[in-house]
Amino acid sequence: MNLQQLRYAIEIAECGSINNAAKNLFVSQPSLSSAIMELEKEFGVTLFTRTSKGINVTVEGVEFLSYARQVLEQADLLESRYRNARPSRQRFAISAQHYAFAVSAFVRLVEQYGRDEYEFALRETKTYEIIDDVRNLRSEIGILYMNEFNAKVLTKFLREGNLVFTELFEARPHIFISARNPLAQRACVTLDDLEPYPCLSFEQGEYNSFHFSEEILSTLSHPKSIRVSDRATLFNLLIGLNGYTISTGVISHDLNGNEIIAVPLQLDETIRVGYIMLRNMAHSALAEIYIQLLKETIAEEQRQL
């Protein structure tokens, strides 16, 4: 075993593709495949399985790569300390549903802890892909919500992926609307109040099950419904069309200004927002810092509600 082999294995896990990993590492695909085969043979493990959609990390591969990351981190520290070498580039990735507080915490992480060189990733993506990213080590942390309706299905997927959900906060349902929306001055709104306005939601691709929706009440039909794929488009439509979306009420005014506001929705529901990580996997230092920044950011933004 050598450190280069460990770096190769981690790059494949993060890319989900041997071909893409080879391009990033500037090595040939056969050389990369050969290095991984030698590593697997030496330790008697199977790190990856090939599927029609790319590479998946096996259960034993997840455990092996968690140790590999720690080995590489320690090797980098040794080189930096005793060879007066530059520390290797920081790497950290997060996958999340479309939450402004996740972006705010990410900004703080980069500003406060990013070194001269880093390679960070923040993927605002679909619910199933968040779970798949963390399970296959493309992201160290995933951020999503659970409630009474989707918890059974999501818990099953998390259990099968050897993932654990840790709650960050509970919230009552709110709507996000434009500050110029006719409902903006209301202390709270009902579902009947919302009927004349377009309901905006995030599309979930091929896993478009009600249980993977980012919005509660996904089984309800709406006279006017628009699906979008990114948060900027959704916010533009909230303003341009007087639309609404249902969320936690936690919104970042630092990032989004005061054009979008949160109004309580009169509904007996609870939203539990949290993060998912691999069970029994040692957290990186950046993951620990990011989780703390998440908590601080959420607490500050909740005080503004």
Q: Sketch the domain layout of the chain as residue ranges.
A: 1-87, 170-270
> How long is the chain?
305
Please, is 156 exposed, middle or buried when counting C-beta atoms within 10 Å of its C-beta (0-12, 13-18, 19+)? exposed
Q: Quote the CA–CA distance of 39 and 18 in Å, as a whole number.
A: 15
Q: Quote the CA–CA distance of 213 and 205 in Å, as a whole number.
A: 10
CATH fold of 170-270: D-Maltodextrin-Binding Protein; domain 2 (3.40.190)
Evaluate whether 47 touches 9 at the Cβ level (below 8 Å): yes
Q: Categorize the per-residue pLDDT at 90 as very low, low, confident or very high, splitting at 50, 70 and 90.
A: confident
Tell whether the model's pLDDT for residue 123 goes beyond 80: yes
If you ran DSSP here, which 8-state letter would residue 175 be given? E
pLDDT (0 to 100) of residue 252: 76
Residue with tokens 């990032």: 255
Residues 6+ apart with CB under 8 A from 9: 36, 39, 47, 64, 65, 68
pLDDT in tens, 248-299: 989 877 766 689 999 999 999 999 999 999 987 778 889 999 999 999 999 9
pLDDT in tens, 208-234: 788 999 999 988 989 999 999 998 899
- The pairing of strands 141-146 and 199-202 is unpaired
Straight-line distance from the first to the last Cα atom of the chain, in angstroms, rounded to the nearest whole number: 54
Task: Name the pTM for this structure.
Answer: 0.79
Right CATH for 1-87 from 1.10.600.10, 3.90.1150.10, 2.60.40.10, 1.10.10.10: 1.10.10.10
Domains 1-87 and 170-270 agree in fold: no
pLDDT in tens, 5-51: 888 898 898 888 888 888 888 888 888 888 899 989 998 999 998 88
